[in-house]
A and B are shown apart, each in its own frame.
Chain A
Amino acid sequence: MKKLALLLTSGLLLSSCLRMDSLLFNPDDSITEYLLDDFDGETEIDLDGSYDLPDSTEHVFTLTSDLEGDLASIYAVYVGDISRIATDTVILYLHGNAGHLDYYWPRIKLLANVGSKNRFGVLAIDYRGYGLSEGDPSEDALYEDSDAALRWLKENGLTDDRLIIYGFSMGTAPATELMANKRSMQPSKLMLEAPFASDEVMVQDASGLSLPGSFFTSLEINNAEEIAKINEPFFWIHGTADSFLSIETHGEVVYKNYDGVYSTAYRVEGGEHIDVPAIMGYDAYVEAVLEFLEYTP
């Protein structure tokens, strides 16, 4: 019985040490440089050469992100003419939980092909711990690193009315958070691809039971609630065959809770979590994005 008591005591002492939070992040920090078009590793989608962009419009640089005094140098890629940010419309692309910028490069290029090549500027970042960015990922760092991108855009002359924020998967968390709770800028439109409602929905999907998310995580990501604060136009796209973030339990809930001025939804038949643009067809995807970007309330 002494051993049992010792085991239980040890467990209690360790309680709240183990959380599932860090499993949200799956960064790849094994690279030594960003290769973009030359990257030959796994990417989510494959684009043919017709989507290639002039090298002169691809800029890799660093930003400083300040998380309550914890400074980190994070990497970013801007596709477009930096000197024209003061007049261009720019999409801030916030990527998912895996890999690094090279992994998402085809997606970034696709957005830079909307309308025509480089019609819209596209900025993407690697959060802390991803790719060459310093530091460790965390929920707070997601928001702060994304806000560092907003500050950079603002410093280069971008105004709120020409800023669109696009979040994919995990990136829907900082996208929704920064849209719902203004920091450096207030984006004029929100685009979410395969959003997750909250960690609690993940837990309930996994268990099949109404278990509270707090049993396993301390994450406060709650897109389903935050979306209700947003009034700006909203674009939602989700694959019907998403086996990771179910369209029914995650996407539809987020979409249903939006109560702003305008929304448009694309439920892509047969689309999985990572291949919606490919399944939809790149031309159709680009056209759908363009239509939303050109929408005027």
Chain B
Amino acid sequence: MYRYIALLVVSTFLMSCNSTRVVKTLDKGEQQITGSFGGPAIIFGGAPIPIPLSSVGYAVGLDTGLTFAGGVHTTSLLFGNAEVDLNMGINAFKTKSNKFGITVSPGLHMIYGFNGGDFSIYPQLEGIAWKEYGNKNNLIFGGLGTWVELDREKAYGEVQEHELMPYITLRHQFTGQKWNFQLEARYIGFTYPNENIVVDYLGPFSTGTSGVYFGISRKFGKK
């Protein structure tokens, strides 16, 4: 019964909202809007459920192999927090056929709370290997990323032992004529035990939590 308060898991906005980074950098001048829905899974009432979190994003190709992306986390907004992420997608490697590549995405994840005036910022870094395949250029990618905890203290001066919040991600994109649809799985905080905390996270090996995300995107404005 005490698990009801486990819905404090919304405090995992940062870990859970799908950031709006691009997988494959856009062409110069090309733009993309995205929406995502999903989150980490917890055990609630004896069954695994994903926490419903959402975000919307925008990306634009600044140059060949360089894309800027930003997103607003709409669920967080409803709780009185302005939560945004800003990141750059940098093409680190790409085959001549443009079917396989590696994208590196440094970024910042920021939250401002209107209720308490508190502000938090988390640098973020992700490396993504992607591959296009098939006639429709469907896309599959795997990535390794982390958020960086800059604060060395927690409440009451207790030591913050978590310097990084790493995650592994695997996504498939179904490429349509206009809209693309993504299904993504993440394994978040896999280096940390998930027992004896307020939330019953669903993670293998009693570590971290797994999450499932659904996304939709559309490109436009290619020049």
Contacts and interface: CB of A to CB of B under 8 A. Distances in A.
A120 B56 CA distance: 60
Nearest to B192: A208
Most chain B Cβ neighbours within 10 Å, of A7, A214, A216: A216
Interface in A233-281: 241-246, 249, 253, 257, 273-274
Contacts of B149: 209-210
B78 interface: yes
Contact of B5 (A26, A215, A253): A26
B158 A253 contact: yes
A208 B162 contact: yes
Given A206-B11, A208-B192, A211-B11, A19 B1 contact: no
Interface string A62-103: 000000000000000000000000000000000011110000
B2 A98 contact: yes
Interface in A115-163: none
Given A23-B4, A244-B2, A210 B120 contact: yes
Nearest to A198: B155
A200 interface: yes
A197 interface: yes
A216 B199 CA distance: 15
B181 interface: no
Nearest to B33: A4
Contacts of A8: 72, 74, 77
Interface in A6-23: 7-8, 11-12, 14-20, 23
Contact of A15 (B4, B13, B80, B195): B80
A181 interface: no
Most chain A Cβ neighbours within 10 Å, of B5, B9, B115, B158: B5
Interface string B160-177: 101001000000000000
Contacts of A253: 155-156, 158
B5 to A, nearest CB: 5
B154 A204 contact: yes
A207 B12 contact: yes
B2 A97 contact: yes
Interface residues of A, number: 55
Nearest to A224: B156
A53 interface: no
B63 interface: no
A178 B56 CA distance: 46
A288 interface: no
B92 interface: no
Contacts of B77: 8, 11-12, 14-15
A215 B81 contact: yes
B1 A98 contact: yes
A260 to B, nearest CB: 18
B5 A24 contact: yes
Given A205-B197, A205-B198, A243-B196, A215 B11 contact: yes
15 contacts: A11-B78, A17-B80, A23-B5, A42-B1, A200-B155, A204-B154, A206-B199, A209-B14, A212-B113, A216-B79, A241-B196, A243-B200, A245-B198, A249-B154, A249-B158
Interface of A: 4, 7-8, 11-12, 14-20, 23-24, 26, 42, 96-99, 169, 197-218, 224, 241-246, 249, 253, 257, 273-274
Given A11-B78, A16-B115, A207-B14, 11 more contacts: A8-B74, A23-B8, A200-B155, A205-B199, A206-B198, A209-B14, A211-B11, A213-B155, A215-B120, A253-B158, A273-B2
